[in-house]
Amino acid sequence: MDLVTLDDVRAAAGSVAGIAVRTPLVPWRGLYLKPENLQPVGAFKVRGAAHALAMLPPSVRQAGVVTHSSGNHGQALAYAGRAMGVPVVVVMPDVAAPVKVAATREYGAEVVLVPPAERESTAQRLAAERRLTMVPPYDHRDIIAGQGTVGLEIVADLSTVDCVLVPVGGGGLASGVASAVKALRPGAAVIGVEPELAADAAESLSTGTLIRWPTERLYRTVADGLRTTLSELTFAHLRARLDRILTVTEEEILATVHALVTSARIVAEPSGAVANLAPEAFAGVVAQVPFVDALNSMLDPSLPLTVTEWEEWGDPLHDKDVYDYMKSYTPYENVADRPYPPILAVTSLNDTRVLYHEPAKWVARLRAAAPGARVLLKTEMGAGHGGPSGRYDAWREEAFVNAWILDRLGRA
């Protein structure tokens, strides 16, 4: 089967420019988030939709297009269609989120609501009756190439990326991201993540045979954007380019949505939150932890505040909202009571107001949350505030980390 190439993805980057937003990488808890919720329609789907429409001949675009979607692809196609002057019809399940139905209509599309199991067949019928061109949500090379621009941007912004986690529903995003990342950085792992309640891709990849779950089985998950099965095309891409696929529970999905809102200040729908994997999925974790405890630094009389900090934070001594906000950012408040893999915590004590016992307190909290957890703490005085300057002993640092990881994997 003809798979999408890096040249295809690079060509798509030109198509999506001016319609899709080039989203940044946002550091969060040792990871980098790619906030595609910043797209005009709130999802990455606008990338594939814009490229697919751009690749159609002008006469075909003028006649109009049709698609079937649970919401995000429909909104994306409607948005791109309005920008390019293309009439759009979207067939949506009658249980779709009302906000997504309303948004699709607001972007100028005609919306047809049908029972979930009938949406694809209805779209095919309307295409034949009205002579519209079908633009599927994921089962198309141009859609995959458009979604692959996400991977193109990830490698451009983080050239040393070692692992990319990507949600899997129909497989368009995962196929495109894997195609781009593997071509640009072959040594990086691309891992798919999907809900346990819609794990048809995991079953398909484990058996080597495309398996399609029935609609009623897929619709059990809260991640409505992932209530789809792979196609032959996306299955071929994932078999060739995805390193592995993992599943997450509904509880983990909802907990991540909450954590992203309260900690990262990112509003993510459940379909996007699945890629924040449970820690126990890894053999080991290296945690680069900044131990500036906001409360200790600001409330301890021996650690006076600066004028700038008062202006930035507010007054935690007399304003409970400021106090609670600051507290939510301390390392101790961000340790969940759950199993953890072995953890190497590396911290630089590069601020004279950070007491040496702060990292030890965090490790104690981590061990209390997960009795039996193996935690190794490495602290050092970093650049500034009287500590060594520059990148000193870089090779020793790398050797230390790699030796620890290998030991945890049982290879040393």
Give the residue extent of every domain in the chain. Answer: 6-40+146-281, 45-141, 285-408
Question: Same topology for domains 6-40+146-281 and 45-141, yes or no?
Answer: yes
Tell me if 241 sits within 8 A of 173, measured CB to CB. Answer: no
Residue 130: predicted pLDDT: 96
Count CA atoms closer than 13 A to 36's CA, side-chain side.
24
CA pair distance 73, 369, nearest whole angstrom: 41
Low-confidence ranges of the chain (pLDDT < 70): 276-313, 325-334, 336-360, 372-373, 376-412
pTM of the model: 0.68
Fold of 6-40+146-281: Rossmann fold (3.40.50)
Comparing C-alpha atoms, which of 228, 236, 225, 137 is closest to residue 179?
236
Greatest pairwise CA separation for the chain in angstroms = 77
Residue 257: predicted pLDDT: 85
Torsion, Cα 102 12 204 254, to 10 degrees, reads: -40
Residue 362: predicted pLDDT: 73
Summarised one tens digit per residue, pLDDT across range 116-139 is 889 999 999 999 999 999 999 999
Tell me if 410 sits within 8 A of 355, measured CB to CB. Answer: no
Residue 400: predicted pLDDT: 57
Summarised one tens digit per residue, pLDDT across range 189-213 is 899 999 999 999 999 999 999 999 9
Tell me if 142 sits within 8 A of 12, measured CB to CB. Answer: yes
Fold of 45-141: Rossmann fold (3.40.50)
Residue 286: predicted pLDDT: 55
Tell me if 126 sits within 8 A of 88, measured CB to CB. Answer: no
Residue 219: predicted pLDDT: 87
Is the four-CA dihedral 229, 233, 234, 239 of positive or negative sign? positive
Residue 212: predicted pLDDT: 92
Residue 111: predicted pLDDT: 96
Residue 341: predicted pLDDT: 65
Residue 71: predicted pLDDT: 85
